[in-house]
Amino acid sequence: MKLGDSPLKSAIIVVSLRWIDRLIGFVSTLILARLLMPEDFGLIAMASIVIGLAEAMLDVGVNVFLIQARNPSSAHYNTGWTVRILQGFLLFLLLSSASPFVAQYFGDERVQFVLIGLAFAGWVATFENVGVVNFQREMRFSQEFRYLFTRRIFGFFVTIGLALALRSYFALVIGTVTMRLFGVALSFWMHPMRPRLSLEKVSEMMGVSIFLMLKNIFMYVDGNFHKVLLGGGTNTTSMGGYTVACEVADLPSSEVLSPINRVLFPMLTRARDDIHEQLRIMNLTQGIHLLITIPVSIGLCLLADETVRILLGEKWIFVVGALQIVAFFNITSSVISAPNYLMMANGFFKVVMWISFVQLCLFGFAFSFSPWPITMENVALMRLVCLGLGTIFGYYVFKKLVPQAQIKDLFANSIRPVLASIAMTLFIVYFVFGAISDRNEVSRFMITALTGALVYGVTVVFLWLLQSRPAGPEMYVFERLKERFGK
């Protein structure tokens, strides 16, 4: 791929393939939601949060280091593989020792077993062939997809089979361990690299990883502190419901933003000697993020009740209020995600770390002085407000760090999606809801979603034409369609 190409040329492939992979995971969640109880998901969520925090505390950024390295040698890969294994073993020992105290904090002794089981699965995963990182480094995303897809489909059938047989959280733990073991074997089958134990380049790796590790800690805590507080202040049912609500609301991010960002980071890294090219890539990617996540987030808020009833079932109806709030989390991610990747591609891990730290402090302050009781809805609302304030601060820092960036570009990326989403919302509220109130939830969902998508799409195109077709995501789509069908 040429350096000047849009990230979307690769991202379209990645998003298309990644959708299939993520669809399997989402279908798995929906099936498990029908087979298991909310408290089963709560137990897994409680343990997963603790594991994620410990992983962030020990993560020295092996993959990022190898992707950023200009000409990594076999010694670099051997060191990275060894460091990951040592990190995983230390993590397993740490979490096993801490498991009784974690179970005591969450008020459920079952968390101890889940924590130990998932920590062991995490250690197993560190033995995966470090060579697979080259799928992303060399932008061979179809191979990366085959690896992730095969591992995911195996885990899907194993976990669903266990859930049918056991009908308990044991299925989730055993399924995770089994999938990790399969992933190790698969990674060595798919990539010819045969790493060996070595710490030859450990000083070089650690020299650039300290701020990356701190950034990971702050970003993880910032993204999960609200769940920790909810889990400690409520029960496994509320925790399970909130976690599933976040997963449903995270679909725009996991299905679109994450795959695009996997392309964005290596492209920005390759263009790090040309800040104007980096900004071009960043602005186009950010435009795609906003074009998708703003209407989807608003649509999910409008259709939260139907979404829960159709996808999860009546026993999950208590999560509707929280889902309506967390649906808006992705909009803030759309604003700051691409600038964060640009800063990281240029080695400004320390800055990204401090942005996450400030955002975390905002939530801690809000939670400490809040007069509201600890509920799913209240925690979600505080989180949303703090995300908004943190995004404003992060963009301010980014502008100071990269003076070539223009605020008008952010405005240009957001104005059409915002106005079109407002038009979509007004049309649905005033013309659609009243006309379909007597229909069942499936009909209401389909009619509202299709009508909303049509109104949004037509409005975006109209505004784009009204502004004389400015450069941006709409122009990119138009040019690609013209290339394909114009002849």
Per-residue pLDDT of 353-376, as tens digits, reads 788 788 888 888 887 888 888 888
Whether 56 contacts 121, CB under 8 Å: no
Q: Which residues of 92-129 are buried (b: 16+ CB within 10 A; e: fewer)?
A: beebeebbeebbeebebebbbbbbbbbbbbbbbbbbbb
CB 362 within 8 A of CB 386: yes
Which tokens hold the place of 474?
């709409």
Confidence of residue 12 (pLDDT cuts 50, 70, 90): low
Average pLDDT over residues 72-97: 87
Q: What is the per-residue pLDDT for 76?
A: 83
Segment 299-353, tens digit of pLDDT: 999 999 999 988 888 888 999 999 999 999 888 888 888 888 888 888 787 788 7
Residues above pLDDT 70, as percent of the chain = 82
Half-sphere exposure of residue 61: CA atoms within 13 angstroms, side-chain side = 22
| CB-CB contact of 303 with 449 (8 Å) | yes
**Which amino acid belongs to residue 390?**
G
| Residues 312, 392: Cα–Cα separation, whole Å | 35
Four-point Cα dihedral 481, 482, 484, 486, nearest 10: 140
Asked if residue 389 lies in contact with residue 361, where contact means CB atoms within 8 angstroms, the answer is no
Residue 432: predicted pLDDT: 93
Query: Residue 99 in contact with residue 112, Cβ under 8 Å?
Result: yes
Q: Looking at residues 33-46, what average pLDDT do you find?
A: 75
d(CA 18, CA 10): 12
CA dihedral 465, 470, 476, 481 (to 10 degrees): 30
448 confidence band (pLDDT: 50, 70, 90): very high
Alpha-carbon gap, residue 198 to 77, rounded angstroms: 9
Taking the alpha carbons at both ends of the chain, their separation in whole angstroms is 24
In the chain, where the domains are located: 7-405, 408-487
pLDDT per residue over 185-209, tens digit each?
999 998 889 998 988 877 776 655 5
Which pLDDT value is given to residue 323? 92
- Mind listing the pLDDT tens digit for each residue in 109-147? 888 888 898 889 889 988 989 888 887 677 676 777 788
Contact call for residues 302 and 456 (beta carbons, < 8 A): no
User: Residues 423, 428, 431, 434: what is their CA dihedral angle, to the nearest 10 degrees?
Assistant: -160
Q: What token pair was written down for 233? A: 């202040």
Can you give the pTM of this predicted structure? 0.69
Q: Note the pLDDT of residue 255.
A: 59
Whether the predicted pLDDT of 9 surpasses 60: no
The structure tokens 């998508």 sit at: 453
Q: Are 374 and 233 in contact (CB under 8 A)?
A: yes
- Tokens in use for 173? 């733990």
Report residue 167's pLDDT band, with 50, 70 and 90 as the boundaries. confident
Cβ-proximal residues to 383 (8 Å cutoff; 6+ apart), any chain: 226, 326, 329, 363
Q: How many CB atoms lie within 10 A of CB 297?
A: 23
